[in-house]
């Protein structure tokens, strides 16, 4: 068999995945390669970098069944694996027919993919069940017996390393059983295109400035975590509706600054010990990017070199 013949189904899968995403060709190739090699995969990266989007694209395009699980503190082993129906157990006893498969039992039996969102939020006890399944490819359920993994069973998880909810709990045992795909922030061009797809029709130069502002939050010394592309998407969406409400262009300074404050001040995380509020930092960065067009007239920059909030913005000063 020639190399081209061997690789073409993978190439076509990668091409189909690309239709769901802006950019990310390398990550797409890595996930296709890892899954084709029958490996488990873990996407790891900051919020808003497209991990779930990539996960959903794989689920749609891979053409095999999948079970989708949201990782959270309530995901007990019984919820993941399955359980005996208590009412029927009373009448029929612990018969296999009385067992209700959870997503893990289904994925094992059907040889499908198990998608785990926010894997770091899953309680330790439940993670331990996964550790066994990932290496042994079988699961022992008390009173039910052994469920063997049908060919095709794989696990694809996503997690955000900045999420303080239990990230540390992801044990070396899990890491040692997965191929890890690091997903970093998108390029500026990709962020512009992502935002433009979700909020179309905005002035492209202004959109580029919005993305620039959002990216500056990731480098600000007073910030622990900056905004993801979600901040740019929200700022554009809010500027559009706020502009309509005020009878102004989304890019007009009065609208743009308020849209920035409302979209960014909540999602950036301040470093401990800093003296400035999130609103002050957003305002400064906005000045830096859109400075020439600062809100005019009554909104002129005050004596301390700080623009007061235009109409509608709550000022904390």
Ligand X SMILES: Nc1ncnc2c1ncn2[C@@H]1O[C@H](COP(=O)(O)OP(=O)(O)OP(=O)(O)O)[C@@H](O)[C@H]1O
Binding residues for Mg ion, rule: CB under 5 A, are 51-52
Question: Which C-beta is closer to ligand X: that of 230 or that of 246?
Answer: 230
Q: Which stretch binds ligand X (CB under 6 A): 41-49, 135-143, 243-251, 288-296?
A: 41-49
180-219 residues in contact with ligand X (CB under 6 A) are 186, 194
Minimum distance from CB of 187 to ligand X (Å)? 10
* Interaction of residue 49 with ligand X, rule CB under 6 A: yes
Contacts of 133 (CB under 8 A, 6+ apart): 104, 108, 139, 149, 155
Question: Which C-beta is closer to ligand X: that of 50 or that of 310?
Answer: 50
Joined tokens for residue 133: 């399944």
Minimum distance from CB of 125 to ligand X (Å)? 23
CA distance 247 to 231: 23
**Residue 194: contacted member of ligand X, Mg ion, none (CB under 5 to 8 Å, by partner type):** ligand X
E strands present in 71-137? 82-84, 99-101, 113-117
270, with CB counted inside 10 A (0-12, 13-18, 19+), is: middle
**Range list of H helices, 120-274:** 124-136, 172-175, 188-198, 204-217, 229-246, 253-264
Which residue, 48, 19, 44, is CA-closest to 232?
48
Minimum distance from CB of 57 to ligand X (Å)? 9
Q: Which stretch binds ligand X (CB under 6 A): 48-56, 76-84, 104-112, 254-262?
A: 48-56
Q: Which stretch binds ligand X (CB under 6 A): 47-55, 81-89, 216-224, 294-302?
A: 47-55
CA distance 41 to 307: 48
CA distance 52 to 198: 16
Q: Are 64 and 152 in contact (CB under 8 A)?
A: yes
137-166 residues in contact with ligand X (CB under 6 A) are 158, 160
Question: Which C-beta is closer to ligand X: that of 24 or that of 154?
Answer: 24
Among 22, 42, 122, 289, binds ligand X (CB under 6 A): 22
**Residue 207: contacted member of ligand X, Mg ion, none (CB under 5 to 8 Å, by partner type):** none
Q: Are 98 and 85 in contact (CB under 8 A)?
A: yes
Among 53, 110, 167, 277, binds ligand X (CB under 6 A): 53
Q: Are 267 and 227 in contact (CB under 8 A)?
A: yes
**Residue 18: contacted member of Mg ion, ligand X, none (CB under 5 to 8 Å, by partner type):** none
**Residue 40: contacted member of ligand X, Mg ion, none (CB under 5 to 8 Å, by partner type):** none
Contacts of 207 (CB under 8 A, 6+ apart): 192, 195, 196, 236
Using CB under 6 A as the binding criterion, the count of chain residues that bind ligand X stands at 17
Q: Are 242 and 288 in contact (CB under 8 A)?
A: no
> DSSP secondary-structure letter at 286?
H
**Residue 154: contacted member of ligand X, Mg ion, none (CB under 5 to 8 Å, by partner type):** none
Residues in contact with ligand X by CB under 6 A are: 21-24, 47-53, 158, 160, 186, 194, 229-230
């Amino acid at each position: 068999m020639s190399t081209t013949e061997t690789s073409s189904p993978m190439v076509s899968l990668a091409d189909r995945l690309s239709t769901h995403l802006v950019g990310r060709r390398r990550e797409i190739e890595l996930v296709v390669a890892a899954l084709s090699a029958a490996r488990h995969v873990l996407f790891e990266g900051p919020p808003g970098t497209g991990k779930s989007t990539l996960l959903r694209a794989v689920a749609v395009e891979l053409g095999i069944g999948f079970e989708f699980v949201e990782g959270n503190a309530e995901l007990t082993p019984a919820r993941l694996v399955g359980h005996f129906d208590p009412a029927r157990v009373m009448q029929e006893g612990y018969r296999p027919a009385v067992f209700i498969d959870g997503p893990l039992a289904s994925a094992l039996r059907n040889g499908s993919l198990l998608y785990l969102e926010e894997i770091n939020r899953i309680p330790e006890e439940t993670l331990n069940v996964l550790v066994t399944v990932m290496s042994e490819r079988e699961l022992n359920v008390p009173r039910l017996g052994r469920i063997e993994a049908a060919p095709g069973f794989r696990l694809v998880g996503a997690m955000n390393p900045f999420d303080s909810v239990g990230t540390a709990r992801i044990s070396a045992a899990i890491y040692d059983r997965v191929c890890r795909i690091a997903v970093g922030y998108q390029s500026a061009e990709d962020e512009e295109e992502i935002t433009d797809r979700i909020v179309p029709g905005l002035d492209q130069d202004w959109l580029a400035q919005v993305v620039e502002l959002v990216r500056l939050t990731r480098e600000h010394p007073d910030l622990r975590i900056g905004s993801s592309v979600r901040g740019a998407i929200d700022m554009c969406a809010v500027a559009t509706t706020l502009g309509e409400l005020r009878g102004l262009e989304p890019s007009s300074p009065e609208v743009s600054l308020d849209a920035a404050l409302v979209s960014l001040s909540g999602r950036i995380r301040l470093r401990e010990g800093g003296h400035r509020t999130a609103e002050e930092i957003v305002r400064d960065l906005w000045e830096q990017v859109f400075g020439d067009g600062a809100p005019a007239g009554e909104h002129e920059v005050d004596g301390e070199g700080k623009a007061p909030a235009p109409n509608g913005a709550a000022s904390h000063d």
